[in-house]
Amino acid sequence: MAKEYDASTEEFMGVPRKKIPWWPTIDYNKCTFCMECDKFCPHHVYEKRETEQRKLVVANPYNCVVFCRACAKACPEDALSFPDKREITKLIKEMRGV
Amino acid sequence: MAERKTVILPCNGLDKALGVVAGRAGIVACAKDPGIKLVCPVLLNSGEPKYDEMVKDADIICLNGCMTRCATKLAESRKIPVKTNLLVPDMVKKFNLKPGTDLVLQTSGVQLPEAIADDIITSIKKDRESMAQEIHSIEVEDKAEYFETKKDKFYFKVPKGAYLFNENDCWVRVFGGLAYLGISDFLQNQVGDILYVDLPAIGKEFGQFDEAGSFESVKSVQDLISPVSGKVVAVNNQLASAPELANQDPYHKGWFVKVELADFDEDKGLLLDGPAYFEFMKKKIELEAKKQH
């Protein structure tokens, strides 16, 4: 397994990764904890919590590749959502402009 | 070779000979080229579900008998993106074949659908050939010159030519007012053998960083995240039967989508040129290698 990812040193398009709010949100009303998204994502964005009620969480949001929504396609319940790409692009442009 | 589907949606209007010609031309084109499929406008209008699959990822040609353009309007109402809109009156002039007014087609009216069908089949072939030529001229223009690097398992090359990249490892190459899109050599190396490529419908519009296709490899399913905003004007049909082209020649024969650019001046501000992408990737790889050691 990959070592702990240190997002504080990472940049995306010249902007610190930690300033870009891009990661999946799990709709727990829909999620059945089938873990397909976790199996799919190579960046360890998700983590299992076997003993908790919410058996899957977004544990490493900054590992998520900005603009990638591929895990949402793997979800059979359509329980994953992402921010609006246009909003994120706008935000990146604003931060690059500073 | 399995090619991308072409689907003809004729108006088939039965109140005019021109409409009858449109329907007939669709039938003849399908009979002449088994790669072409026909949509019955009446059945489509009634919500027939079998057409959902047929029109998905196909090049749609609307064949309208008259200026009422019923076929085009029907496609719009069913949210089917159209590649080409044809008008039978234009074809009447082009081939100088007047169908007359008799709904039971006579002489010229019988010849006209044949001529229209041949014309459609020829233009499909021409489209394919002209794109192959364009890609070849880009190849020649690039003179196959690359920056190349290798670090542990990471090997990749970046063309020195006029390619621009986003940080999602997808490229855009502007050519003659339009642009080709594809994935970088680094990305194809990362995902391994590509087994299947899913390409968007002609006419689909997307914003910068939206998905402009996806692909499945032995390791994963990923999207082509478009470096630019635009509208799909063509897709690489060859990837249907030879997805390995995206591995073997990611910058030329393995292109995915051809687009009409929407706002390139704005979009390019967020892209990297070849040398900048190469430096960016070298740093990223160093970091990855460190993490794994």
**Interchain CB distance below 8 Å, A68 and B292:** no
Residue B83 identity (one-letter amino acid): K
* Token pair in block for residue B207: 């914003």
* pLDDT one-digit tens code per residue, B26-84: 999 999 998 899 999 999 999 999 998 888 878 899 999 999 999 999 999 998 888 88
Q: Which residue has the higher pLDDT, B244 or A9?
A: B244
Residues 6+ apart with CB under 8 A from B274: B147, B158, B159, B160, B161, B163, B165
As annotated, the residues of chain B forming the CATH 2.40.50.100 domain(s) are: 143-292
Q: Which two tokens stand for residue A78?
A: 């359509």
**Range A21-97 classified under CATH 3.30.70.20:** yes
Question: What separation in angstroms does the CA of B118 have from each of A56, B5, B78, B92, B215?
Answer: 58, 17, 28, 14, 34
Of B207, B220, B221, the CB nearest to A85: B207
Q: Say how many C-beta atoms besides its own lie within 10 A of residue B194's C-beta.
A: 25
To the nearest whole Å, the CA of A11 is away from the closest chain B CA by 10
User: Could you give the C-alpha distances from B63 to B59, B85, B97, B187, B193, in angstroms and in order?
Assistant: 13, 6, 17, 40, 40
Nearest-neighbour CA in chain A from B76: distance (Å): 25
Give B3's pLDDT tier (boundaries 50, 70, 90): low
Return the structure tokens found at B47.
């919500």
Chain A contact for B209 (CB, 8 A cutoff): yes
What is the DSSP-derived secondary structure letter of residue A18?
Answer: G
Supply the pTM of this predicted model.
0.75
| Strand pairing category for B221-225 and B205-206 | unpaired
Separation between Cα atoms, residue B70 and residue A78, nearest integer Å:
36
Using a CB–CB cut-off of 8 Å, the residues of A that contact B are: 2-3, 5, 10, 12-13, 40, 42, 65-70, 73-74, 85-86, 88-89, 92-93, 96
Percent of chain B residues past pLDDT 90, beyond the cut: 62
Q: What is the mean pLDDT of residues B270-287?
A: 89
d(C-alpha A30, C-alpha A91), whole Å: 29
Backbone angles phi, psi at B290, to 5 degrees: -60, -45
Query: Do the strands B257-261 and B230-235 form a parallel or antiparallel pair, or are they unpaired?
Result: antiparallel
B143-292 domain in CATH 2.40.50.100? yes
Report CB contact under 8 Å: B209, A74: no
Chain B residues inside the 8 Å CB shell of A74: 221
Q: What confidence tier does A9 reach under pLDDT thresholds 50, 70, 90? A: low
Residue B173 pLDDT greater than 60, yes or no = yes
The alpha carbon of residue A69 is apart from the nearest alpha carbon of chain B, in Å, by 8
ipTM of the complex: 0.83
User: Which residues of chain B have a CB within 8 Å of the CB of A65?
Assistant: 168
Chain A residue with Cα closest to B268: A93
